[in-house]
Structure 1
């Protein structure tokens, strides 16, 4: 009998498993510069952490008055991002340990991300995480991105798991809200420390205000073991 019983784990990708935000920032900065917007900063980027690329670009079109078609901007940003991601994406060491710990016990796992399928595949393959994380759902494959629960519910469906048996790991408030809406427990690891007081994070079963600096594979596993109903 597994210590974690029927628990399944669903990982967000960007900012949770890997620190891909610097690559997203640079891809976005370059894309906007190509449209004549040259003052995009990291602080600007932080406002869009946890929001899908397509939704981010739709907001940029309105905010910056971009005239290029959304599809053109999306293709441009994705191209630039993939070039950066394939060159290097940092995997959080404790997250890698956690994935390996869960894999050793046979815990079902999935990735549910706002990134495109191509971007998810590139990161998982380049990091070697694809050997353990074979169930993958992109927001491009569902009707609504986070904070809607669609991507997490589809991940649970593909795992053959009941939503109530799923635990989501998330770094962003929209993702925490999506997990709650899906009826799933959540371990929240805020990427942006200043957002830890966002009401969406208050719904998390475990909130690590210190972000990745506070996360350890063993403590997360122990929390899961301590909150898993006896079977």
Structure 2
């Protein structure tokens, strides 16, 4: 993972050179790119937006605020990724790839070109980035930068950004002079369902799904509630806390849970979870066990919300 993490946000040609060298592949970098791209194209069709991204895009579009995507990927690949998401191509004012400018990130060229094509001053733009090279590019472009890190273990490196959040669900547009989001219901936020599979033992959910890495992204952090189906065909309501722990030498995801109805004595039953509501994020940059605790207040909010129409219909079909 250390080898791959350092390539996050890197230009494709440079990344290919590093991959061939790191793994001593019997290919040229160009042969590697030609071999791997069909696999990437297949995966892009299965990719899902990070929690809160669709919500933010629709909000900005509704208020007539121009926004663009500027990526170190090649332009044709950026367009393929954007086109795979419903409505995105029509929402973005500008779509740019690294081949549209002289230099990719961490150079500011991509962001400066995006601002130019949108017809706005760079200093009036806000960048939201998940990679360190992207954060550096935004700062170099004299733009405000919010970081939503894709690698929680390197959170400290993102402190150069103007603001760091763990999840798009924590983004508050009004902090940046944008119209506020007003979609919270009963102290919680209805969200597009987040699905994952696991087993439950003594309040801890153990991830077991082979594709859990894609189903439960790094930026799915905070306290949520939703529905869980067990292999016994029982369905119960659940409150879940998702955080990261690096205190034991390795960075790992911690998922704590408790049931609103049903027994907390269930042990090692396979379960399929659909999270439909978001209660809160974590206030500190580095997670602590206190941050990740499920509070009595969290349970009360979940119990008051989950049967409301805004939440309950989302949990009716877990599969």
Normalised to the residue count of structure 1, the TM-score between the two structures is 0.70
**1:161 maps to which residue?**
120
Bigger strand fraction: 2
- CA RMSD, Structure 1 to Structure 2 (Å): 2.0
**1:37 maps to which residue?**
none
**2:17 maps to which residue?**
58
Q: CA deviation at 1:130?
A: 1.2
Greater RCO, 1 or 2 (C-alpha within 8 Å, sep 6+): 1
For residue 35 of structure 2, give the secondary structure of its aligned residue in structure 1: helix
Superposed CA offset, 1:193-228 (max 9, x none): 111111xx23312111xx22xx327x42122128xx
Question: Which stretches in structure 2 are left out of the alignment for 5+ residues?
Answer: 179-319
Question: Counterparts of 1:1-231 in structure 2 under 5 Å?
Answer: 42-86=1-45, 88-128=46-86, 129-198=88-157, 201-208=158-165, 211-212=166-167, 215-216=168-169, 219-225=171-177
Question: Which stretches in structure 1 are left out of the alignment for 5+ residues?
Answer: 1-41, 227-231
Aligned partners of 1:173 and 1:195 also within 8 Å: no
Counterparts of 1:93 and 1:188, CA distance in 2:
15
Bigger helix fraction: 1
Normalised to the residue count of structure 2, the TM-score between the two structures is 0.52
Q: How many residues align?
A: 178
Aligned partners of 2:16 and 2:30 also within 8 Å: no
Q: Which moved more, 1:134-143 or 1:56-65?
A: 56-65
Q: CA deviation at 1:156?
A: 1.1
Q: Is the alpha carbon distance of 1:134 and 1:74 closer, same or farther for their aligned partners in structure 2, counting shifts above 3 Å?
A: farther
Counterparts of 1:44 and 1:64, CA distance in 2:
10
Structure exhibiting the larger radius of gyration computed from Cα positions: 2
Q: CA deviation at 1:145?
A: 1.7
Superposed CA offset, 1:87-146 (max 9, x none): x11112311111111111111110001122222222211212112014111012222221
Aligned partners of 2:76 and 2:97 also within 8 Å: no
Superposed CA offset, 1:47-75 (max 9, x none): 21121222211222333344533322222
Aligned partners of 1:167 and 1:185 also within 8 Å: yes
